[in-house]
């Protein structure tokens, strides 16, 4: 049996770890609330944007925007949104798994893949795996702003405009609730139309000022950006929730470990005392 | 009661206004537009300026937008406000920046992204040490 002193040091070190995980749990819990608020705050914009784009899909403009036209795919783009930091359970790994299964499917159809990564975890993962990463963006913090994403999105949109990629997807975690976060891969381009609004079935069109092309360009660019932004804030909420759960599990595990070690320690202490006593008694008997 | 229509003003980071109005004025790119109920569908860009919303009573509310999009449907007006400063060359610079970062991270073998490799090496070293320890223990006794 190990000496009492070693067990005591081990208990001490586990207690220190437990303190850290507990603190991280509480930090994640408070950050999660803020992240969820932010997720909710940005939702109206994404919804309105989706409405407007859906309306536009129903209009009959003289100009057909390339983002609305399905074309034969040779190469696809994938935007992967991951976290910057670890210690959040299987969140990133699950996301990468689903991204990779999609990528394998595309490879099976002889499609090449360009990656745009957001977050250091995705960067290091795809660097190791060997993907064609065309843009990297990280350290956006807990309160990302839209202008920090413009670069990443523009790289992909430019590639689409120039015909280097023919489809664009986004992979991020979708927040269901604190306990559940689901990885999802969704298509951004070409824009998939929503269900039709009844009032808009007849033939009509907007007035465009100054002209259809520039208005649609601006609108669709913002549409894609808003979807990516929404994906990012949602991913942050997922990160915080996952970290909170993971750290709670770690603290609990540390607790049980300490209890077990405490028991072993008590036994060792007791054994040492008994031994000492019996030595004294037998010594006295010898005299 | 005056005829009203629904107005939504949203930006990417928050909802700014949602409610009924009898008249809306917005700084469209080709000049300020005033929107009354049952306006014909219109889609335009906004430039920086002031959006004025006339509520049902004659009360008015003002919002500043730095740009964005305006959609008009006969009974719904949507203002999608930008929060970011937008210009072609600023966007281009941002795109260049993320590209450069990707290239740097992919080529730079010693960057601090290399946790994964370092971790693998560490695990290997630990395994070796453990093996040595094992052999020593056996030999010692």
DSSP string over B5-20: EEEEEEETTEEEEEEE
Section A149-161 average pLDDT: 89
pLDDT by residue (tens digit) across A8-25? Answer: 999 999 999 999 999 999
Residue numbers in A near B40 (CB within 8 A): 207
pLDDT digits 0-9 by tens, A79-125: 999 999 889 989 999 999 999 999 999 999 999 999 999 999 999 99
Query: Is B85's CB within 8 Å of A147's CB?
Result: yes
Chain B residue closest to A54 (CA)?
A: B71
pLDDT, position A261: 93
**Highest mean pLDDT, choosing among A63-67, A116-120, A196-200, B64-68:** A116-120
- B44 and A146 within 8 Å at the Cβ level: the answer is no
Chain-chain contact of A55 with B71 (C-beta, under 8 angstroms): yes
pLDDT value for B141: 46
Q: Which residue, A185, A116, A277, A239, is CA-closest to B106?
A: A116
B98·A59 Cβ contact <8 A: no
Mean pLDDT of B15-37: 89
Q: Which range is least confidently modeled, A59-63, A205-209, B89-93?
A: B89-93
| Higher-scoring residue by pLDDT: A120, B3 | A120
Contact B71 A116 (CB under 8 A): no
Please give the mean pLDDT across all residues of chain A. 88
Q: Which residue of A has its CA nearest to B31?
A: A209
Helix (H) or strand (E) holding B133: helix B115-140
pLDDT at B30 over 60: yes
Determine, for residues A124 and B116 on separate chains, whether the beta-carbon distance falls below 8 Å. Answer: yes
CA count, 13 A, side-chain hemisphere, B12: 30
At A153, phi and psi to the nearest 5? Answer: -70, -40
Nearest CA in chain B to A135: B99
Which tens digits make up the pLDDT trace of B72-116? Answer: 988 899 999 887 556 666 677 777 777 777 777 777 655 555 566
Pick A206's closest partner by Cβ from B41, B78, B113. Answer: B41
Q: Mutate which of B8, B65, B82, B94 to test chain A, going by most A C-beta atoms within 10 A?
A: B94
- Least CB-CB distance to B113: which of A44, A123, A222? A123
Q: Residue A264: which residues within 8 A CB-CB, separation 6 or more?
A: A1, A2, A7
Which chain A residues have a beta carbon less than 8 Å from that of B41? 55, 59, 204-207
A52, A87, A122, A144: best mutation site toward chain B, by most B Cβ within 10 Å?
A52
Mean pLDDT of A207-227: 86
CA distances from A39 to A32, A172, A255 (A): 10, 14, 34
What pLDDT, on the 0 to 100 scale, is given for residue A201? 60
A128 closest CB neighbour out of B15, B78, B116: B116
pLDDT band, very low/low/confident/very high, at A42 (cuts 50, 70, 90): confident
Would the CB atoms of A145 and B11 count as touching at under 8 Å?
no
- CB burial class (10 A; 0-12, 13-18, 19+) of residue A137? buried
How many A-B residue pairs are in contact by the CB < 8 A criterion?
141
Of the ranges A60-69, A71-80, B1-10, B113-122, which is most confident?
A71-80
| Minimum-distance CB partner of B30 among A127, A134, A210 | A210
| Res. B125 pLDDT band, cuts 50 70 90 | low
Is the pLDDT assigned to residue A56 strictly greater than 90? no
Q: Which residue of A has its CA nearest to B14?
A: A41
Closest residue, chain B, to A136 (C-alpha): B102
Q: Name the β-bridge partners of B6.
A: B20, B76
In chain A, the residue whose alpha carbon lies closest to the alpha carbon of B13 is A42
């Amino acid at each position: 049996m190990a000496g009492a002193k070693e067990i005591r040091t081990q208990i001490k070190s586990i207690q220190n770890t437990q303190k850290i995980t507990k603190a991280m749990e509480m930090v994640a819990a408070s950050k999660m609330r803020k992240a969820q608020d932010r997720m909710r705050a940005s939702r109206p914009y994404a919804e309105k944007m989706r409405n407007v784009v859906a309306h536009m899909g129903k209009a009959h403009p003289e100009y057909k925007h390339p983002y609305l036209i399905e074309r034969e795919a040779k190469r696809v783009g994938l935007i992967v949104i991951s976290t910057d930091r670890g210690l959040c359970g299987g969140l990133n790994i699950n996301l990468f798994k689903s991204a990779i299964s999609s990528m394998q499917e595309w490879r099976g159809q002889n499609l090449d893949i360009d990656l745009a990564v957001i977050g250091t975890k995705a960067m290091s993962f795809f660097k190791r795996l060997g993907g064609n990463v065309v843009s990297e963006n990280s350290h956006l913090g807990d309160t990302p702003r839209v202008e920090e994403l413009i670069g990443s999105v523009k790289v992909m949109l430019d590639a689409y405009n120039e015909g280097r990629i023919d489809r664009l997807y986004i992979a991020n975690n979708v927040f269901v609730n604190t306990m559940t976060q689901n990885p999802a891969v969704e298509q951004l381009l070409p824009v998939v139309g929503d269900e039709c609004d009844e009032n808009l079935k007849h033939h009509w069109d907007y007035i465009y000022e100054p002209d259809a092309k520039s208005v649609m360009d601006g609108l669709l660019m913002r549409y894609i950006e808003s979807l990516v932004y929404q994906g990012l804030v949602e991913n942050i909420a997922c990160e915080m929730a996952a970290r909170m759960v993971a750290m709670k599990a770690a603290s609990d595990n540390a607790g049980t470990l300490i209890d077990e070690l405490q028991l072993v320690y008590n036994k060792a202490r007791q054994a040492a005392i008994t031994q000492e006593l019996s030595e004294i008694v037998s010594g006295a008997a010898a005299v | 009661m005056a005829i009203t229509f629904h107005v939504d003003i949203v930006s990417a980071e928050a909802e700014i206004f949602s409610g009924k109005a009898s008249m809306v004025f917005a700084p469209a790119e080709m000049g300020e537009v005033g929107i009354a109920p049952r306006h014909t569908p219109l889609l335009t860009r906004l430039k920086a300026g002031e959006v004025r919303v006339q509520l049902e009573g004659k009360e008015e509310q003002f919002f500043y937008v730095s740009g964005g999009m305006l959609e008009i449907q006969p009974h719904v007006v949507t203002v999608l406000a930008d929060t970011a400063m937008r210009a072609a060359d600023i966007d281009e610079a941002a795109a260049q920046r993320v590209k450069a970062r990707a290239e740097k991270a992919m080529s730079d073998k010693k960057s601090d992204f290399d946790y994964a490799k370092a971790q693998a090496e560490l695990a290997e070293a630990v395994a070796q040490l453990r093996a040595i320890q094992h052999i020593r223990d056996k030999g010692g006794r």
